Amino acid sequence: MAHTAREKTLWSIGLLVVVLFALIPVIWIISLSLKTPATITDQSFFPTEFSLENYKGLFEGGISDSPFIKPLINSLLIASITTVISIVLASFAAYAIARLEFPGRRLMLAGALAIAMFPPISTVGPLFDMWRTLGLYDTYPGLIIPYLTFSLPLAIYTLVAFFREIPWELEQAAQVDGATPFQAFRKVIVPLAAPGMFTAAILVFIFAWNDFLFAISLTSSDASRTVPAALAFFTGDSQFTQPTGNIAAAAVLVTVPIIIFVLFFQRRIVAGLTAGAVKG
């Protein structure tokens, strides 16, 4: 199809608008984080004086006094543990749903969908009360358990869609060719299933990394508070200074790795986000 110069110009403008709109808040928070305390309220989009002061402030005092290091460790560990457990449990369920005939298969899918729509705020009060009784309040498991619940539907749907595409006959073919069942599984099925599991893992990690409601409701200290919750409790150096610069710096540190990750694996993420939603 031939395109006129006018079409190409219009198209370029449209592209530019979309890219700018997506990038502005990111560039803005980076630029804010690089401003000096004196110029942070100068209202200019780009910094006039650069400084790393805001970043230094995050790490001062080491692990015990820094407002950022412990929450960052908590976030990384909690999101990673959630991802591993969620993918293992979801893989079992998705394998069964994709490959086995058993009553309750549709119920499992419908149930997972219902959980995905469940309002988390409705569980926060009871969990708060139960966790205090069980000693899970302000602990890692106290956050990992609810994250598992709400990430499993996402993982199961993504994995079922991927697993249905796997040519499982290859497993038998390998066995006919003399491979042991374990070899057939490891050399044939694992490489075929790995991309889907990896995609589901990215989506679950981003979900757990992003959560705020459970993180502020079920924690009370740096023992298990994650970065999004810690950001909301940042205070300035004195009661008269706003923590704007430090929040911006912390925001950049938790955002940039995820953005790089997302951009690197964008094809997989798109495939995962749309899996199961199309073929009705």
Partner 1 sequence: MSARTRSERRLGWLLCAPAAIAMLAVTAYPIGYALVLSVQQVDLRFPDEGGFVGFQNYSAVLTSSLWWTDVFNTVFLSVVSVTIELALGMAIALVMHRAIFGRGVVRTSVLIPYGIVTVVAAFSWQFAFAPDTGFVNQLPLISDDMDWFGGRFSSFAVIIMAEVWKTTPFMALLLLAGLTTIDDGLYDAAKVDGASAWQRFTKITLPLMKPAILVALLFRTLDAFRIFDTIFIMTAGAQNTESVSILGYNQLISRLNLGLGSAVSVLIFIAVLIIALIFVKGLGARQPEGGRV
Least separation in angstroms between residue 221's CB and partner 1 is 15
Q: Which is nearer to partner 1, 62 or 131 (CB)?
A: 131
Distance of CA 269 to the CA centre of its chain: 11
Stretch that binds partner 1, among 65-73, 167-175, 184-192, 256-264 (CB under 8 A): 256-264
**Position 240 contacts partner 1 (CB under 8 A):** no
**Position 143 contacts partner 1 (CB under 8 A):** no
**Position 149 contacts partner 1 (CB under 8 A):** yes
Least separation in angstroms between residue 220's CB and partner 1 is 10
Stretch that binds partner 1, among 8-16, 133-141, 168-176, 181-189 (CB under 8 A): 8-16
**Position 15 contacts partner 1 (CB under 8 A):** yes
Give the interface size with partner 1 as a residue count (CB under 8 A).
Answer: 105
Report the alpha-carbon distance of residue 91 to residue 36 in Å, rounded: 49
**Position 52 contacts partner 1 (CB under 8 A):** no
**Position 45 contacts partner 1 (CB under 8 A):** yes
Restricting to residues 102-141, name those near partner 1 by CB under 8 A.
102-106, 108-113, 115-130
Restricting to residues 66-105, name those near partner 1 by CB under 8 A.
89-90, 92-93, 95-98, 100-105
Restricting to residues 160-189, name those near partner 1 by CB under 8 A.
160-161, 164
**Position 43 contacts partner 1 (CB under 8 A):** yes
**Position 9 contacts partner 1 (CB under 8 A):** no
**Position 2 contacts partner 1 (CB under 8 A):** no
Residue with tokens 């690197």: 264
Binding mask 210-239 for partner 1 (x = CB under 8 A): x-xx--xx---------xx--xx-------
Distance of CA 93 to the CA centre of its chain: 21
Contact between residue 144 and residue 136 where contact means Cβ atoms under 8 Å apart: no
Binding residue for partner 1 (CB under 8 A) from 28, 63, 134, 194?
A: 28
Q: Give the burial class of 145: count Cβ atoms within 10 A of its Cβ; 0-12 exposed, 13-18 middle, 19 or more buried.
A: middle
Report the alpha-carbon distance of residue 124 to residue 128 in Å, rounded: 6
Q: Which is nearer to partner 1, 62 or 161 (CB)?
A: 161
